Amino acid sequence: MRMRRREGDDTCNLDHDQRNVDSAGPVLHGEGGVKTSALVTAVVGVLTAVGGYYQGAQGDLLTSGALLAFSVLYLAVAYALFAGVQDMRTIGNSALTVALVCGISAFLLLNGGAVKADGVKTIAVNYYFRFTFITFSILLLVIFAFAYGKASLKLVGALLVFLGVADLIVPAYSLIGYNTLPF
């Protein structure tokens, strides 16, 4: 698959080839095919949806809603890769929708939601997850801009590296070592 821009068009378009690839990164950099990436993305989308339904069944509707929104985005990306979609604006629009969900979630995690009759807030204030939802919102807005030709792939990649460390590695080791989130 090769990334290209059409003359006079600021949208992101993709050209496909048939070589195999193990992740979406090389696909976006013009190396390899898309079938493996599409399959992995579809599996992640299905597993995220299962997690969303499970969280909903446990009564955690905030996490459930976010997971289900992300699963729709993963499945849309998988379909776009499988089908060879050339115009990625639909993926950008999906990313914008999920960014809105993340922004609302960040707001609710900041103030804790409504207060029940017993004085307890419906959503516990959590600064770390608020930070995570804010950073995901920023990433998704940049993906939206990328799909419309307004942001670079290098910016998307840099944000993914930052989020991999700040939102995944640091909290994982904080939980392992100290049994608590970073903040």
Whether residue 157 is contained in a domain is answered as no
- Can you spell out the DSSP letters for 47-78? HHHHHHHHHHHTT-HHHHHHHHHHHHHHHHHH
Distance between CA 67 and CA 54 in Å, rounded? 10
pLDDT tops 90 at residue 85: no
Write the CATH number for 122.
Answer: 1.25.40
pLDDT tops 80 at residue 98: yes
Residue of 92 and 22 predicted with greater confidence: 92
pLDDT tops 90 at residue 97: yes
Mean pLDDT of all residues in 42-52: 97
Mean pLDDT of all residues in 83-101: 94
Mean pLDDT of all residues in 85-105: 94
Enumerate the β-bridge partners of residue 4: 13
Domains identified in the chain, total number: 1
In this predicted structure, what is the pLDDT of residue 22? 41
Residue of 3 and 118 predicted with greater confidence: 118
Domain limits for position 132: 2-152
Whether residue 115 is contained in a domain is answered as yes
The answer to whether 4 and 148 are in contact (CB under 8 A) is no
The answer to whether 42 and 30 are in contact (CB under 8 A) is no
Whether residue 162 is contained in a domain is answered as no
Average pLDDT value for the chain: 85
pLDDT tops 70 at residue 16: no
